[in-house]
Amino acid sequence: MKNVFNKNFCRLCKSKNLDIIYKLVPTPIGDDYLKSSKTKVDFYDLNLKNCKSCNFVQLSNVIDPKKVYGDYIYVTKTSVGLPKHFQFLLELLIKKYKLNNNSKVLEIGCNDGTLLRLINKKAKFAIGVDPATTLKPKNLKIYKSMFNDNISHKLKNIYGEFDFIIANNVIANIDNLDNVFKNIKLILKKNGIFVMETFSLYGLLRNNLIDNIYHEHISYFSIKSFNDYLRKMQLKIIFAEHLNVKGGSLRLFISKIDSENRQKSFALIQKKEEKLFKNIVKKFKRIKDINKNNQIKINNFLKKETKKKKLIIGYGASVGTTTLMYYYKLKNYIDSFCDDEKKRHYLYSPGTKLQILPPSQLSEIKPNYIIIFAWRYADQILKKNRKLFKKGIKFILPLPKFKIIKKCPKKYL
């Protein structure tokens, strides 16, 4: 198929000893929300492969980044909790790693500049690199480019080396990691810090984050395999922690020089991961069984309700929604979606005729059920829309297990 190729060797250790460990169903590009329901889309396989040599997990296919990010509409500022999360990151960098008004900072994959704006208030300057042509933040220096040889040499010629390089939720989306880390080394000071935050394999398996498998996420990192890889690149992890953000993430601080405190942070996190990954095939089999049972329960319920002419709307139109909708086979039960992000309003879900509406229309539409596809933010969504319960509207949680919420929880009253 055009614009896609099969990744037949491990991105980290280069072994060709790969097995498919988890199969979902083919989907369109998850965030390709369209202006017309008649626009044809391509469907791509969505399978995870496990490297038998280093235990790394990666997506079987890689889609051309220009196709994935050309019309990218995701923005950080409207992602629940992320702006506050970035503020905490900045405070950590200031307190523990001495980010100050003499620091030069680069953010790879800066999106709408939410973090850059915060850093610019504390550092000498902060600039960004991002390939999404549709994002045009004001009053920020952002280079519209993939992070590659050309841009890294250009930045070094203009700005010299950086004290901090930050990449949040982007490294897992890049195929050629050798090139990325070669260029990070090129423009990072000897005692500089590379901060990386990514969706984690630990989070996926521990919390059944099945909707975080999609075509942007081509790598699923764990400490052991990634640490072995970084050593070969002459880089060291000096700090690591598991985070709850996005359901389960991994934050790493990486440097050219080692740290005496490294083992203190490594011991517990590696122990947790090793226990979970001891039999990774068995763990993915467990996830498959959980989701199969969940899918059957949801489909049986929705099939029964749609026969009664009940109106069902989805809440949350994201890249993960696309995965969950196709994997759980929910498309034919849903009338439309709603989402808080204005840029998505009146677009159509990838590969469907399901339109995205403003949540303000829910009172007028009066659906019988609202499926919270953005289930990790169920608390915020239920609290914001608690008045809908008075109209007899019920909410459905598809994950982590199927649940129907018929009455407004007391904590929201």
In the chain, DSSP finds a helix count (H) and a strand count (E) of 12, 19
Tell me, what's the pLDDT at 365? 93
CA dihedral over 287, 293, 297, 299, signed as positive or negative: positive
Tell me, what's the pLDDT at 260? 53
The answer to whether 18 and 50 are in contact (CB under 8 A) is yes
Q: Give the angle 186-187-191 at the CA atoms, nearest 5°.
A: 100
Distance of CA 43 to the CA centre of its chain: 20
CA dist 58 and 249 (Å) reads 16
- Domains 76-278 and 299-412 fall in the same CATH topology: yes
Classified as helix, coil or strand, 40 is coil
- Among candidates 163, 165, 116, 168, which has minimal Cα distance to 142? 116
CATH number of this structure's domain 76-278, picked from the four choices 3.30.70.330, 3.20.20.20, 3.30.565.10, 3.40.50.150: 3.40.50.150
- Among candidates 251, 209, 226, 205, which has minimal Cα distance to 374? 209
Query: How buried is residue 88: exposed, middle or buried, by Cβ count under 10 Å (0-12/13-18/19+)?
Result: exposed
Tell me, what's the pLDDT at 251? 92
The long-range contacts involving 37-41, CB below 8 angstroms and separated by at least 24 positions, are 37/348, 37/352, 37/353, 37/354, 37/355, 39/348, 41/350, 41/351
Q: What is the mean pLDDT of each run of 10 residues along the chain (413 residues)?
A: 89 97 95 91 95 96 82 53 84 91 94 89 91 74 92 96 95 95 96 93 91 95 92 91 82 81 67 86 94 96 97 96 97 96 94 95 95 93 93 94 90 78
- The full set of domain ranges for the chain reads 76-278, 299-412
User: Which CATH architecture fits 299-412?
Assistant: 3-Layer(aba) Sandwich (3.40)
Tell me, what's the pLDDT at 291? 95
Tell me, what's the pLDDT at 77? 46
